[in-house]
């Protein structure tokens, strides 16, 4: 029996059996059930996500050093180092200062064959203005012999890089052939064309935009 003057309050029912975790869960559910508090909570989450996107995004025409690379428009192009067909190596970041077209292709791909003459044409017309074309052969699903025959057939004079293990294709999240990335002089991806073949108008317009930007 409690001392005189002391009253005991005894809880009964579900509340009496609820432990700290259950009560915390009930409190959280209560917050969600209240529209105003739930609206504030979701707004804060969305603002936090937006802030992260803005921080990680590479500003157009800005420096890319220290920024997160991503195969998306507005982000730094993922770097790669690949063996070149015929010998030597090619590192994408060493082309900084030029407008670069990275084209992922395979010799057996009909759209690749259809658009390659146009890429060769615009390369010859604009290389003196600072245009570089890097043709990344998906050698892991092709062959070096077929790639070499393709180069001879179309008279390609721009660098052809061999993605033997698929590392570059994975870095660029390759989903279809051909896929082309238009990269500005600071190393930022400005346009992405998935599938093809690209029209000459698309190539000309995009390349001209890259070349005329400061």
**CATH code, domain with 204:** 3.40.30.10
Residues 49 and 147 in one domain: no
Q: Is residue 100 part of a domain?
A: yes
DSSP result, 20-82: HHHHHHHHHHHHHHSHHHHHHHHHHHHHHHHHHHHHHSPPTTS--TTSPB-SSTTSBPPP-EE
Say if residue 32 is in the same domain as residue 89.
no
Q: Is residue 61 part of a domain?
A: no
The answer to whether residue 73 is domain-embedded is no
**pTM as predicted:** 0.69
The answer to the question of residue 167 being in a domain is yes
Structural domain total, the chain = 2
Question: What average pLDDT values come out for the chain (214 residues) when binned by 10 residues?
Answer: 46 47 48 61 58 38 56 96 97 97 98 97 97 98 98 98 98 96 97 94 95 84
pLDDT at site 115: 97
Residue 142 lies in a domain: yes
- Check residue 196 and give its pLDDT: 84
Among 132, 167, 135, 140, smallest CA distance to 151 is for 135
Check whether residue 51 and residue 107 sit in a common domain.
no
Domain range spanning residue 52? Answer: 14-56
- 150 and 158 in contact (C-beta within 8 Å)? no
Let me know if residue 113 belongs to a domain: yes
Those residues whose C-beta lies under 8 Å from the C-beta of residue 104, and which sit 6 or more positions away, are: 136, 138, 163, 168, 169, 172, 174, 177, 178, 179, 180
């Amino acid at each position: 029996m409690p001392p005189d003057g002391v009253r005991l309050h005894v809880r009964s029912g579900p509340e009496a059996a609820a432990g700290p975790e259950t009560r915390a869960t009930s409190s959280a559910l209560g917050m969600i059930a209240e529209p105003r508090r739930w609206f504030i909570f979701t707004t804060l989450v969305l603002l936090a996500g937006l802030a992260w996107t803005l921080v990680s995004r590479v500003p157009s025409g800005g420096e890319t050093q220290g920024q997160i690379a991503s195969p998306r428009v507005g982000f730094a192009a993922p770097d790669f180092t690949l063996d070149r067909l015929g010998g030597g190596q090619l590192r994408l970041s060493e082309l900084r200062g030029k407008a670069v077209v990275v084209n992922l292709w395979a010799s057996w791909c009909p759209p690749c064959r259809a658009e390659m003459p146009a890429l060769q044409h615009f390369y010859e017309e604009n290389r003196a203005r600072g245009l570089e074309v890097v043709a990344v052969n998906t050698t892991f699903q092709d062959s070096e012999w077929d790639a070499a025959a393709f180069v001879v057939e179309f008279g390609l004079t721009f660098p052809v890089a061999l993605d033997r293990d698929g590392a570059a294709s994975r870095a660029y999240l390759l989903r279809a052939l051909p896929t082309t990335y238009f990269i500005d002089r600071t190393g930022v991806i400005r346009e992405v064309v998935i599938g093809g073949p690209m029209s000459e108008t698309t190539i000309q317009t995009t390349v001209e935009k890259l070349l005329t930007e400061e």
